[in-house]
Amino acid sequence: MGSFILRRVMLLVPIWIGISLLAFLLTNLTPGDPARLALQRELGHQPDTAQVEEARERMGLNDPLPIQYLRWLGHAATGDLGTSYRNGQPVLEALTNRFPTTLKLAALGLAISVTIALPLGALAAVFRGRVVDHFSRIFALVGASMPSFWVAYLLILAFAVNLRLLPVAGSSTWKHIVLPAVTLGIAGSASLMRVVRSEMLENLGQDYVRTARAKGLANSYVISRHAFRNALIPVTTILGMRFAGMLGGTVIVETIFAWPGIGKLIIDAIFDRDYPIIQGFVIFMGTVTLLINLTVDIGYGLIDPRVRPAKS
C-alpha cells in the first residue's frame, strides 16, 4: 500500500506541471486586460492610457508570455503563487484563508447528502414499489429539478424570513452554515440516492445474495453486510467526485449566503482577470482533486478486498 501511495504521489508532479501550463495559457488567452480591470475597480471609472501602462509594467504584463510563465512557475515551486491583482493579497494566503471555510461547508453539505441519500436509497431498493420507494422517487425528481439557488431562496424564506430561526446570510456564527449546507445537501442527495437505489437493486439480485439468504443469514444482515457494502463501491467514487466538485464549485450557494469561500473568490477573479488567483486556484484545486482521488482509491481497498494491492 505504501509504494502504491508513493507512486501516486510521484505522478502528481508531471500532472501539476501540465495543469499549470494549461491554466497559464488558458488564462492569458482569455480576452481582457487585467491591468485595466484592476484600475477600473480601484478608481471606479475608466483609467487613462498612462495609468494602464504603469499598471501593466508593475504587474509584469508587458513581458513575453514564456517569460511570465517561467517566472510564475519558478516562484510557484517555492510556494509563492504571486499576489492578487485585485487586492494585493498573496495568492496562497487568499486560497488557504478561504479553503477551510469552503471545506467546512462542503463537508457538512456532503454529510447531509449522505445522511439523506444512503438510507433512503437503500430503503427504496429493499422496499421496491412500496411507499418509501415512491417517496424517494418524488424526492429525487424534485431535488434534481430544483436549481440550488431556488432551494436556497426557499430555505431562506422558510427559516429566516418566516420562522426567523436562522440568519439569511453571513458566516460569523454556527447558525450561518445551516442553510447553505442544507442547500448543498439537498442538491447532492437526490442523484446520489438514485445511484444507491440502483446499485442496491443490482446487488440484491446477485447470486451471492441468494446464496447468503440460502445459508440462513438474517435478511437485515444480508442487506447491510453484503448488498449495501457492495453497493457502496461506485457510490464512493461518486462521493469523491462530488466532494471535489463542491470544494471548487459552490459559488452560487456561497454568493447567496455571503459565505466567504473559495468559489466566490475564483468567480470574482475570473471577472477581474486576476491571473495569479486563477492560476493558483487551478493548481490548488488540481492538487486537492488528485488527493481526493487518491483517498478514494485507498478507500476502495478498505471497502473491497479484491482491489487491495497484493502484498509482496
Partner 1 sequence: MGITQLNRRTLVQGVAVGAVGIHALAATNSLAQSDTTVKIGVSEDGYRTDERANVGFYPLNTGIFESLVHLGEDYQIKPLLAESWEFVEPNTWRITLRQDVSFHDGTAFNAEAVKYTMDRIASNGGGSMGLGADSCVIVDDFTVEITSSRPNRRLMQQIGHPNNSILPVGLNPAESRIGTGPFKEVEYVAGDHFTVETNAEYWGDDKPEIAGITFNFYPDPTARMLALQAGDVDMITDVSRPAAGQVEQMGATLLRSPVGGYEAFYIQIHGEEPYHLGADPAVREAISLAIDRNVIVQNAWQGNAEPGHTMIPPAILGDSVSIVAEPTYDLEKAKSLLEEAGWTGDDIRAKDGTALTLTIINGYGTAADHGTVPEILQAQLREAGIDLQIVQTPDTATYEQRLSLGEGDLWLEAGSQNDGNPGFLPGLLFASPEEGGDPESTMYGRAFAPGAAFDEQIEITNNAVDMAEVQEAAALGMNLLINEEHIVVPLCGFFRMVGASEKITEFSLHPSGVNQRWTSLRVKG
Which spans of this chain sit near partner 1 (rule: CB under 8 A)? 30-33, 36-37, 40-46, 48-55, 58, 83, 86-89, 153, 156-157, 160-161, 164, 167-172, 255-258, 260, 264, 270-271, 273
Q: How many CB atoms lie within 10 A of CB 128?
A: 13
In whole angstroms, give the CA distance from residue 263 to residue 254: 7
Are 136 and 193 in contact, with CB atoms under 8 Å apart?
yes
Q: Which is nearer to partner 1, 54 or 295 (CB)?
A: 54
Least distance to partner 1 from the beta carbon of 56, Å?
Answer: 9
Least distance to partner 1 from the beta carbon of 24, Å?
Answer: 17
Q: Which three cell numbers stand for residue 10?
A: 510521484
Q: Which is nearer to partner 1, 65 or 138 (CB)?
A: 65
Least distance to partner 1 from the beta carbon of 233, Å?
Answer: 39
Are 179 and 112 in contact, with CB atoms under 8 Å apart?
no
Q: Which long-range contacts (CB under 8 A, 24 or more apart) does 294-300 make?
A: 294/5, 294/8, 294/9, 295/240, 296/236, 296/237, 296/239, 296/240, 297/8, 298/1, 298/5, 299/236, 299/240, 300/233, 300/236
Least distance to partner 1 from the beta carbon of 46, Å?
Answer: 5
Contacts of 66 (CB under 8 A, 6+ apart): none
Q: Which is nearer to partner 1, 156 or 193 (CB)?
A: 156
Give me the phi and psi of 187, to 5 degrees please.
-60, -40
Residue 83, SS3 per DSSP:
strand
Give me the phi and psi of 168, to 5 degrees please.
-65, -50
91-126 vs 228-248: helix axis angle to the nearest 10?
150
Least distance to partner 1 from the beta carbon of 21, Å?
Answer: 22
Q: Which is nearer to partner 1, 53 or 71 (CB)?
A: 53
Q: Which is nearer to partner 1, 45 or 306 (CB)?
A: 45
Q: Which is nearer to partner 1, 168 or 201 (CB)?
A: 168
Q: Which is nearer to partner 1, 11 or 93 (CB)?
A: 93
Q: Angle at Cα 142 formed by Cα 137 and Cα 146, nearest 5°?
A: 150
Least distance to partner 1 from the beta carbon of 90, Å?
Answer: 9
Q: Which three cell numbers stand for residue 98?
A: 478561504
Q: Which is nearer to partner 1, 19 or 52 (CB)?
A: 52
